Amino acid sequence: QVQFVESGGGLVQAGGSLRLSCLASGRTVSTYFMGWFSRAPGKEREFVAAISRIGGNTYYADSVKGRFTISRDNAKNTLYLQMDSLKPEDTAVYYCAAAPSASYNTLSYHSSYAYWGQGTQVTVSS
């Protein structure tokens, strides 16, 4: 079983930056695909970004390409999401997740992920 502790969320003005962290415990996640999802009020959970096991490949939703960067430090069992040029429409709860087995064409589906964090709130004011 894997547990996650997310941090780094908060309130920021439009154009600002935040860096989310997701620390895993219970077992190493170095062999898992990892991802970030968001859920805005009244909306379904949406894919944000994913990263391959050793970080060589990254995948992004079109809405965040060029603004967000996903990365991982397997030695620290930690996943990151650097969020730049934030917009009010980025306001949501952000969740990290781990996929023990997945293929590259299913990484954007939340059903591919077995373990989830509790979420961290990101609020972007205009």
Residue 62: pLDDT band with limits 50, 70, 90: very high
pLDDT per residue as tens digits for the range 112-125: 999 999 999 999 99
Those residues with Cβ within 8 angstroms of residue 24's Cβ, 6 or more apart along the chain or in another chain = 2, 3, 4, 77, 78, 79, 98
| pLDDT of 104 | 83
Residue 1: pLDDT band with limits 50, 70, 90: confident
Partners of residue 82 on adjacent β-strands: 19, 69
Q: What is the mean pLDDT of the chain?
A: 95
For the chain, the distance separating the N- and C-terminal CA atoms, rounded to the nearest angstrom, is 40
Q: What is the mean pLDDT of residues 77-103?
A: 95
pLDDT of residue 101 exceeding 90: no
Q: What is the mean pLDDT of residues 25-53?
A: 95
3-state secondary structure the chain: CCEEEEECCEEEECCCCEEEEEEEECCCCCCCEEEEEEECCCCCCEEEEEECCCCCCEEECCCCCCCEEEEEECCCCEEEEEECCCCHHHCEEEEEEEECCCCHHHCCCHHHCCEECCCEEEEEEC
